[in-house]
Amino acid sequence: MHHPYLAEIQAHADPERATGQAAYHKVERPYLGVANPVLNDLTKTWRQTLDVEQRIAVADGLWQTNIHEARIAAAKLLTQARIRPDDGVWDLLCSWMPDFDGWAIADHVCMAMQKRLTADPTRLDHVEGWTTSDQMWTRRAALVATLPWTKQNHPKPAELAARDRVLGWAAGYVPDREWFMQKAVAWWLRDLSKHDPDRVRAFLAIHGEALKPFARKEAGRLLPD
């Protein structure tokens, strides 16, 4: 099913670039050396020709290849604000999380998850379960997938409640010394500081000393004086 789509990606392969990518990402898997803008163009075209069920099937097939660009393309194929019905898309995205082993692919899947969470915020109940996962990348995804809640300038009460809920998860992550977790907490706070500096100041007043210094600095970097 997915082979024609994989072949379209492979047509843009650049072995020299692939060697550099493998060194950069430091995760053992095949790399083709295809740039993200190319994958954007391919997946945009595919989205226009496939219905939701077909997209789920193609994305799953691409993911199962374990090829770096195929997994990125799988996530991009499912990244869209309006998808109806979208339960199958959400379920497939969640099923990929145990395979996360590096930030690049994880972040592309989280971008697809952001759209599905924004479309149905009740899914935050499901995301809360990720915060206690044994797998670091799954715990991290709870923050990266909820970044849209940092961005509202005039949040409704339900959006403020969600914002505080995620800040509660972030507070629970503060004692986690893993660099990627500290970075994710800082990322959420930094993005929130552009729209809700008071909440970030309050968080840092309580938890700032317990964050690693780089994360504390990054979280407050954009706070107005």
pLDDT tens profile 175-218: 999 999 999 999 999 999 999 999 999 999 999 999 999 999 99
136 found inside a domain: no
How many alpha carbons fall within 13 Å on the CB side of residue 131? 20
The single-letter DSSP state of residue 209 is G
Is residue 115 domain-shared with residue 161, that is, in the same domain? no
| C-beta separation of 50 from 80 below 8 A | no
Q: What is the model's pTM?
A: 0.96
Please, what is the average pLDDT of the chain?
96
129 found inside a domain: no
131 found inside a domain: no
Mean pLDDT of the 147-155 span: 96
CATH number at residue 15: 1.20.1660
Cα 177 to Cα 6, 136, 190, 211: the distances in Å are: 38, 11, 19, 8
C-alpha radius of gyration, the chain, whole number: 18
Structural domains in the chain (count): 2
Q: Tokens 């935050």 label which residue?
A: 124
Is residue 104 domain-shared with residue 174, that is, in the same domain? no
Q: Identity (one letter) of the amino acid at 104?
A: A
Lowest mean per-residue pLDDT among 1-15, 26-40, 49-63: 1-15
Residue 65 has what pLDDT? 96
Number of helices (H) and strands (E) in the chain: give both, helices first.
13, 0
Token pair for 184: 């994710």
Phi, psi of 174 (to 5 degrees): -55, -40
Residue 3 has what pLDDT? 81
| C-beta separation of 101 from 68 below 8 A | no
183 found inside a domain: yes
List the one residue out of 81, 186, 206 whose CA is nearest residue 144.
186
Residue 1 has what pLDDT? 46
In a 3-state reduction of DSSP, which class is residue 138?
A: helix
Is residue 147 domain-shared with residue 96, that is, in the same domain? no
Choose the final residue of a domain: 85, 119, 153. 119
- C-alpha span between 175 and 190 (Å, rounded): 18
60 found inside a domain: yes
Domain span at residue 66?
A: 1-119
